[in-house]
Amino acid sequence: MVLVKSLEQLGKYTLFLCKTFSIPDKWRTFFKRTVQEIIKLGVDSIPLVIVISLFIGAVITIQMQLNVTSPIIPAYSVGLATRDIVLLEFSNSILCLILAGKVGSNIASEIGTMRVTEQIDALDIMGVNSANFLVLPKIVAFVIFMPVLVVFCIGTSFVGGWGVAAFTDLISVSRYVYGMQAFFQEWYVWYGLIKSLFFAFIISSVASFFGYYVKGGALEVGKASTNAVVSSSILILLFDVVLTKLLLQ
Amino acid sequence: MIEVKNITKSFDGKTILHDVSARFFSGKTNLIIGQSGSGKTVLMKSIVGLVRPEKGEILYDGRDFLKMSDSQIKSLRQEIGMLFQGSALFDSETVLGNVMFPLRMFSKMTRGEMTDRARFCLERVNLAGAESKFPSEISGGMQKRVAIARAIALNPKYLFCDEPNSGLDPKTSILIDELLHDITHEYNITTIINTHDMNSVLGIGENIVFINKGHREWVGDRERIFTSSNEALNEFVFATRLFQEVKDYIISTGHARQRSTSAES
């Protein structure tokens, strides 16, 4: 029964994406809406990304220093491990799990409210492809802006770690910076960016899907918002495994 | 003219509309009336294409809506205006932005022409001066009028109104009714109004279709509604004490007139 329901949902989601990915009625309106969404979903998320990254970068550095202290492990390993954790997992997977909460619930509740207040019906009656008009700019905007957020996250996390080195006695700044630069693999940056594009698509499309098919009232909009966050989080973790296997092996 | 023939629609195995047929005339305010849950909203949603019936025909001036291609439906939609129960104005747009929306999407007008047209529509619904306000800043009655202005922006041939008076005070309700009636006659629109407001029925009911338990029970106009012998219609119309008294009055004056006529003869 669960399997049948899941397959039904998958089919519905696929049809929804087909409806969404069609040529916009007015390109000018599409570009205008995409810019608005970039500001709303992307630029407005920067403060959250900075705050979280700063603290998590600092925490990773402290944890590394406290747990990896050993005579046989070089001191610069703290910087190296912090860098690789941030590049490989935190700046993409964990960041996207956090953004699934912020951006995903925002999208699902906005579109869900439009559905229950008949605004989507009004678009359909006018002959506007409502899925294309409302959802495509969100997906495009978030996918475009996600790499920027990832870069912000990486930079701020490193600053957080540097702050620990600079303002505490745990590790010297020179060793931290040396570790940051040691054995650097450029591919890790690309790996993180590629993963983040997939996750951005999952967050925006899944949240839009749950919002678009809301039936009922305010209570159902809340439920849809929660379901959107839960589903996109699970999908992010699932795709994290698949993409890691594909991109790092 | 819009004609529906033998429309049948079910949800989860439960039939909501049973072989409903009706005609809605251009230049007239056509009312679909019935109790809550009678199927009138489903009928209207079927006509505008938000719900697809299992059986039947929906003819827009002879063109079968259910047999149209996507592009034909898209062009037909530009001839349709709709006023929703909750107004369905776009929260992120101003009043002017809402009225300009269909023009932006479907007309080839310049920005100045669009603004002029939107201002004209707002003036037509007596809302000049509210252009820069957002929907959340205006009253329910004003929202309804903005929705009417948006619905007529593209000069529609067909206008659909779902419960236009719900949540409004009697005075504003009359204002909205009069506005819909005037616009219908002014632009020769086929207007279909879904309502259970008896004041609207008496005020603007030029062609009335009564739906009861998914069946088309009665068709007529506001003059004939009080004298109908249809039991279900009488139950609906005379549900309130006021209208029961109106009926008694009509019957008594009718009898009085009959008596005076026979006395004269």
CB A79 within 8 A of CB A161: yes
- A32 and chain B: CB distance < 8 Å anywhere? no
Within-domain flag for A18: no
Closest Cα in chain A to B93: A119
Q: How confident is the model at residue B264 (pLDDT cuts 50, 70, 90)?
A: very low
Contact B80 A29 (CB under 8 A): no
For B129, the 3-state DSSP assignment is coil
Tell me, rounded to whole angstroms, the distance of Cα B61 from its chain centroid: 18
What is the signed CA dihedral for B225, B227, B231, B232, rounded to 10 degrees?
10
Chain B neighbors of A125, CB-CB under 8 A: 48-50, 77, 80, 82, 160
Domain, as residue range, for A77: 27-248
Q: What is the pLDDT of residue B255?
A: 54
- A71 and chain B: CB distance < 8 Å anywhere? no
Give the DSSP H or E segment for A10.
helix A2-20
Strand pairing category for B158-162 and B190-195 = parallel
For residues A73 and A65, give the distance between their C-alpha atoms in angstroms, rounded to a whole number: 11
Residue B12 has pLDDT above 90, yes or no: no
Of the listed ranges A61-70, A78-87, A199-208, the one predicted with least confidence: A61-70
Closest Cα in chain B to A134: B90
Taking Cα atoms as reference points, which of A245, A246, A249, A237 lies closest to residue A92? A237
Residue B172 has pLDDT above 50, yes or no: yes
- A119 and chain B: CB distance < 8 Å anywhere? yes
Which segments of chain B belong to CATH 3.40.50.300? Answer: 2-79+157-223
Can you list the alpha helix ranges (DSSP code H) found in B49-84?
70-77
Cross-strand pairs, B64:
B59
B78 class by beta-carbon count within 10 Å (0-12 exposed, 13-18 middle, 19+ buried): middle
pLDDT digits (tens, 9 = 90+) for B142-167: 999 999 999 999 999 999 999 888 88
Give the DSSP H or E segment for B146.
helix B140-152
More confident call, B251 vs B217: B217
Q: What is the pLDDT of residue A242?
A: 96
Within-domain flag for A12: no
Please name the member of B73, B82, B104 whose beta carbon is closest to the beta carbon of A122: B82
For residues A203 and A93, give the distance between their C-alpha atoms in angstroms, rounded to a whole number: 12
CA distance A28 to chain B (A): 10
Q: What is residue B135's DSSP assignment? A: G
The angle at the Cα of B26, spanning B25 to B27, to the nearest 5 degrees, equals 115
For residues B44 and B50, give the distance between their C-alpha atoms in angstroms, rounded to a whole number: 9
CA distance B146 to chain A (A): 13
Mean pLDDT over the full length of chain B:
88
Q: Widest CA span of chain B, in angstroms?
A: 70
Residue B259 has pLDDT above 50, yes or no: no
Q: What is the pLDDT of residue A89?
A: 94
More confident call, B166 vs B82: B82
CA distance A128 to chain B (A): 8
One-character DSSP codes across B210-232: EEETTEEEEEE-TTTGGG---HH
For B159, the 3-state DSSP assignment is strand
For A249, the 3-state DSSP assignment is coil
For residues B243 and B225, give the distance between their C-alpha atoms in angstroms, rounded to a whole number: 12
CB B121 within 8 A of CB B145: no
| CB contacts < 8 A (A, B) | 47
Contact A126 B78 (CB under 8 A): yes
Q: What is the pLDDT of residue A143?
A: 97
Mean pLDDT over the full length of chain A:
94
What is the signed CA dihedral for A141, A145, A147, A148, rounded to 10 degrees?
180
Within-domain flag for A99: yes
For B195, the 3-state DSSP assignment is strand
Backbone angle region of B169, left / alpha / beta, with phi > 0 → left and psi within -120 to 50 → alpha = beta
Within-domain flag for A215: yes
Residue B261 has pLDDT above 60, yes or no: no
pLDDT digits (tens, 9 = 90+) for A186-208: 999 999 999 999 999 999 999 99
Radius of gyration of chain B (CA): 20
For residues A138 and A74, give the distance between their C-alpha atoms in angstroms, rounded to a whole number: 46
For residues A63 and A48, give the distance between their C-alpha atoms in angstroms, rounded to a whole number: 22
Chain A neighbors of B91, CB-CB under 8 A: 119
Q: What is residue B136's DSSP assignment? A: G
Cross-strand pairs, B209:
B32, B219
Contact B88 A25 (CB under 8 A): no
Matching CATH number, B2-79+157-223, of 3.40.920.10, 3.40.640.10, 3.40.50.720, 3.40.50.300: 3.40.50.300
Give the tokens for residue B64: 């079968």
End-to-end CA distance of chain B: 44
Within-domain flag for A14: no
Residue B260 has pLDDT above 50, yes or no: no
Contact A25 B82 (CB under 8 A): no
Q: How confident is the model at residue B175 (pLDDT cuts 50, 70, 90)?
A: confident
Contact B77 A126 (CB under 8 A): yes
CA distance B65 to chain A (A): 13
pTM of the model: 0.87
More confident call, B251 vs A54: A54
Tally of domains within chain A: 1
Within-domain flag for A1: no
- Give all strands of the β-sheet with B215-220 in edge-to-edge order: B80-83, B158-162, B190-195, B28-33, B207-212, B215-220
CB B106 within 8 A of CB B78: yes
Within-domain flag for A117: yes
Within-domain flag for A22: no
Tell me, rounded to whole angstroms, the distance of Cα B150 from its chain centroid: 15
